[in-house]
């Protein structure tokens, strides 16, 4: 068997978007990913289906796997012919022990590649508004480990040389030793009033920053019960934070939002939440798929083949548009055969999906649901007209029922099905149980019912109780009704049922509940 290859990849400091392009390529190509605690779990969404995931992370009071065992694990996996990505927080060459891992790979004649990452020593202060160098304040910096016991620190650090060697001192993993570090720096010449900042979980939703001086910082850390992991910055550059902090000023900073949409649809919402400073947690409870029943497919073919007979095409979702065109391609039906039909859409996103395909859409309703569409088009709907409704299997009956009552002939076809999603991130469930989810978004009634069902299947005996104290955001009144019927409370509902308005409502809520 041919030997595999190992990529020793720096995952960056925590924000998953700070991984390098090369690091992302290694994740997408690997057969096995070996990851630790400081690598963002959201990066695992980029691995291909079937990729083996092995957690070897370390906690302050517990080591899942010793370093020597990790080294050997990488060798064993490569000897099985697998492509392995070893995902390490920050940069693997800065206190990441990559040298030990790479050396054993070399000794076993296994090909490897070191992929640098953005180190927390620079990125974390930047996210706290602290540039580690500044033309007027610091033209050099030192990166020092602060993790060892005081006697080991004294053996590994020449305090008399380090203290004034550079303008900025960066200590990694030194929260527990902050008092000793401060004392040593003062003893060896640093002024007691030298500014100090500690940034915990930098670049993540949990980021927290405290600031003091060498003579006050130990008491501040103790009073705040400030816990690792954190980066310590010593130097005048800390004062730049007063003007330059940008991340912590974002409107959704510190907010982790659970997204229950189908994974294929969640990316737009997740990206916008990130832009606003929040952390999206994707927990898809629905999956959108094509109908597989042969009778349903035959019926689809029949109704779509009658393209010339329709006076109206009415779309109620982006999914309806997407799957409508998929079936046209599958059946070889030219969209121009629907030349006699006027086209209507329930909301702006649905209309946009049609416009992108070169189709003209009738005026949009003021209220983005079936009732609004009927109200808008009421004077233009004529008895006897045939209306094709490409929708999902869970679509409400309001539209075809009311069209029929007006004398029209609605042809309701299920171009897609909404089913319970089988795969969710275990970490999201853990966050729910530990009350580390700060908001939940529901964009359809099916996301509400399916989330409760998924939680039951995962062993949660009372899902409503688990979710009861988390603010819930609903896309609109119909979804809100389902939420309330389930026994939950709606905290956020936009005036218009659009993602943009939902996001603005999240921001407004957060600003009034800080």
Q: What is the pLDDT of residues 488-504, one digit of tens each?
A: 999 999 988 888 899 99
Residues 107 and 129 in one domain: no
- Asked if residue 173 has pLDDT above 90, the reply is no
Supply the mean pLDDT for the chain: 90
Q: Is 472 exposed, middle or buried (0-12, 13-18, 19+ CB in 10 A)?
A: buried
Mean pLDDT over 151-162 rounds to 76
Residues 400 and 456 in one domain: no
Global pTM value: 0.81
Mean pLDDT over 328-355 rounds to 92
Residues 83 and 129 in one domain: no
Here the tokens at position 428 are 């999201």
Q: What is the pLDDT of residues 420-458, one digit of tens each?
A: 887 777 778 888 999 999 999 999 899 999 999 999 999
Can you give the pLDDT at residue 66?
A: 85
User: Domain residues for 460?
Assistant: 256-285+421-512
Q: Which residue has the tokens 């409107």?
A: 251
Residues 410 and 301 in one domain: yes
- Asked if residue 146 has pLDDT above 90, the reply is no
Residues 16 and 113 in one domain: yes
Whole-angstrom distance, CA of residue 23 vs CA of residue 116:
8
- Asked if residue 147 has pLDDT above 70, the reply is no
- How many percent of the chain have pLDDT more than 70? 94
Residues 147 and 226 in one domain: yes
Can you give the pLDDT at residue 4?
A: 93
Residues 130 and 237 in one domain: yes
Can you give the pLDDT at residue 393?
A: 87
Q: Which domain CATH number covers 337?
A: 3.40.50.10090
Mean pLDDT over 20-33 rounds to 96
Instruction: Give the sheet arrangement for strand 5-10, strand by strand.
Output: 52-55, 32-35, 83-88, 5-10, 111-115
How would residue 145 be classed by pLDDT, with cut points 50, 70 and 90? confident
Mean pLDDT over 308-329 rounds to 94
CA-nearest of 179, 174, 219 to 199 is 174
Of 420, 445, 461, at which residue does a domain stop? Answer: 420
Q: Among the listed ranges 84-93, 260-269, 281-290, 457-466, which one has the minimum average pLDDT value? A: 260-269
What's the domain count of the chain?
4
Pair type for strands 279-282 and 208-213: unpaired
Q: Among the listed ranges 154-168, 273-287, 343-357, 367-381, which one has the minimum average pLDDT value? A: 367-381
Query: In which element (H, E) is residue 339 found?
Result: none
Mean pLDDT over 228-252 rounds to 95
Can you give the pLDDT at residue 152?
A: 60
Residues 460 and 380 in one domain: no
Dihedral (CA of 86, 89, 91, 96) sign: negative
Residues 387 and 475 in one domain: no
Mean pLDDT over 83-107 rounds to 92
Check residues 286 and 424 and name the one with the higher pLDDT: 286
Three-class HEC string of 135-177: CCCECCEEEEECCCCHHHHHHHCCHHHHCCCCCEEEEECCHHH
Q: Which residues contact 158 (CB under 8 A, 6 or more apart)?
A: none
Whole-angstrom distance, CA of residue 82 vs CA of residue 3:
7
Pair 484, 468: CB distance under 8 Å? no
Can you give the pLDDT at residue 63?
A: 56
Here the tokens at position 332 are 């070889």
Mean pLDDT over 467-493 rounds to 95
Can you give the pLDDT at residue 75?
A: 93
360 DSSP β-pair partners: none
Pair 139, 167: CB distance under 8 Å? yes
Can you give the pLDDT at residue 65?
A: 79
- Asked if residue 241 has pLDDT above 90, the reply is yes
Residues 261 and 298 in one domain: no
Pair 319, 354: CB distance under 8 Å? no
Can you give the pLDDT at residue 342?
A: 93
Q: Which residues contact 325 (CB under 8 A, 6 or more apart)?
A: 335, 357
Of 75, 90, 118, at which residue does a domain stop? Answer: 118
Residues 326 and 415 in one domain: yes
Please calculate the CA angle 477-482-485 and round it to the nearest 5 degrees.
Answer: 120
Please calculate the CA angle 386-387-389 and round it to the nearest 5 degrees.
Answer: 150
Q: Which domain CATH number covers 185?
A: 3.30.950.10
Residues 45 and 80 in one domain: yes
Mean pLDDT over 463-485 rounds to 94
Can you give the pLDDT at residue 469?
A: 93
Can you give the pLDDT at residue 422?
A: 79
- Asked if residue 367 has pLDDT above 60, the reply is no
Q: What is the CA radius of gyration of the chain?
A: 28
Q: Which residues contact 210 (CB under 8 A, 6 or more apart)?
A: 197, 198, 217, 220, 221, 224, 226
Query: In which element (H, E) is residue 500 found?
Result: helix 499-512
Can you give the pLDDT at residue 364?
A: 65
282 DSSP β-pair partners: 259
Q: Which domain CATH number covers 25?
A: 3.40.1010.10
Of 118, 144, 164, at which residue does a domain stop? Answer: 118
Q: What is the pLDDT of residues 35-78, one digit of tens each?
A: 987 677 788 889 998 999 998 875 544 556 788 999 999 999 99
Can you give the pLDDT at residue 67?
A: 87
Please list the active-site residues.
Answer: 36, 58, 173
CA-nearest of 498, 288, 266 to 393 is 288
Whole-angstrom distance, CA of residue 318 vs CA of residue 323:
9
């Amino acid at each position: 068997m041919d030997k595999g290859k190992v990529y020793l990849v720096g995952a960056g400091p925590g924000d998953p978007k700070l991984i390098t392009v090369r690091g992302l390529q290694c994740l997408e190509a690997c057969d096995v990913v070996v990851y630790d605690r400081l690598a963002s779990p959201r990066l695992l969404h980029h691995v291909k289906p079937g990729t083996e995931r092995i957690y070897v992370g370390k906690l302050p009071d517990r080591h899942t796997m010793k370093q020597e065992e990790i080294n050997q694990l990488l060798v064993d996996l490569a000897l099985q012919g697998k492509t392995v990505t070893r995902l390490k927080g920050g940069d693997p060459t800065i206190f990441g022990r990559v040298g030990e891992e790479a050396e054993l790979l070399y000794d076993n004649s296994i090909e490897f590649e070191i992929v640098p990452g953005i180190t927390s020593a620079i990125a974390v202060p930047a996210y706290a508004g602290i540039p580690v160098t500044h033309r007027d304040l610091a033209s050099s910096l030192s990166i020092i480990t602060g993790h060892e016991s005081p006697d080991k620190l004294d053996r590994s650090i020449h305090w008399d040389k380090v203290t004034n060697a550079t303008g900025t001192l960066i200590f990694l993993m030194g929260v527990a030793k902050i008092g000793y570090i401060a004392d040593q720096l003062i003893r060896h010449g640093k002024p007691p009033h030298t500014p100090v900042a500690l940034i915990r979980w930098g670049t993540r939703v949990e980021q927290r920053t405290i600031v003091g001086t060498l003579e006050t910082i130990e008491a501040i850390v103790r009073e705040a019960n400030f816990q690792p992991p954190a980066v310590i910055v010593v130097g005048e550059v800390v004062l730049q934070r007063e003007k330059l902090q940008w991340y912590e000023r974002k409107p959704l900073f510190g907010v982790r939002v659970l997204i229950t949409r189908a994974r294929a649809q969640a990316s737009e919402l997740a990206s916008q939440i990130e832009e606003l400073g929040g952390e999206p947690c994707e927990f898809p409870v629905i999956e959108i798929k094509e109908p597989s029943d042969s009778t349903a497919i035959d019926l689809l073919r029949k109704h779509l083949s009658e393209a010339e007979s329709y006076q109206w095409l009415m779309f109620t979702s982006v999914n309806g548009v997407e799957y409508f065109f998929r079936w046209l391609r599958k059946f070889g039906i030219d969209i121009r055969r629907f030349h006699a039909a006027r086209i209507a859409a329930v909301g702006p996103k649905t209309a946009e999906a049609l416009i992108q395909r070169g189709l003209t859409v009738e005026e949009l309703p003021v209220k983005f649901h079936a009732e609004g569409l009927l109200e808008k088009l009421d004077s233009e709907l004529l008895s006897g007209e045939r209306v094709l409704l490409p929708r999902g299997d869970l679509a409400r009956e309001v539209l075809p029922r009311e069209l029929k009552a007006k004398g029209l002939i609605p042809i309701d076809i299920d171009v897609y099905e909404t089913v319970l999603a089988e795969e969710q991130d275990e970490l999201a469930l853990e966050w729910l149980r530990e009350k580390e989810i700060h908001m939940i978004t529901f964009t359809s009634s099916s996301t509400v019912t399916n989330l409760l069902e998924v939680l039951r299947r995962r062993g949660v005996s009372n899902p409503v109780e688990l979710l009861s104290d988390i603010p819930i955001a609903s896309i609109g009144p119909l979804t809100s009704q389902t939420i309330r019927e389930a026994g939950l409370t709606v905290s956020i509902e936009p005036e218009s049922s659009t993602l943009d308005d939902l996001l603005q409502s999240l921001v407004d809520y957060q600003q009034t509940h800080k």
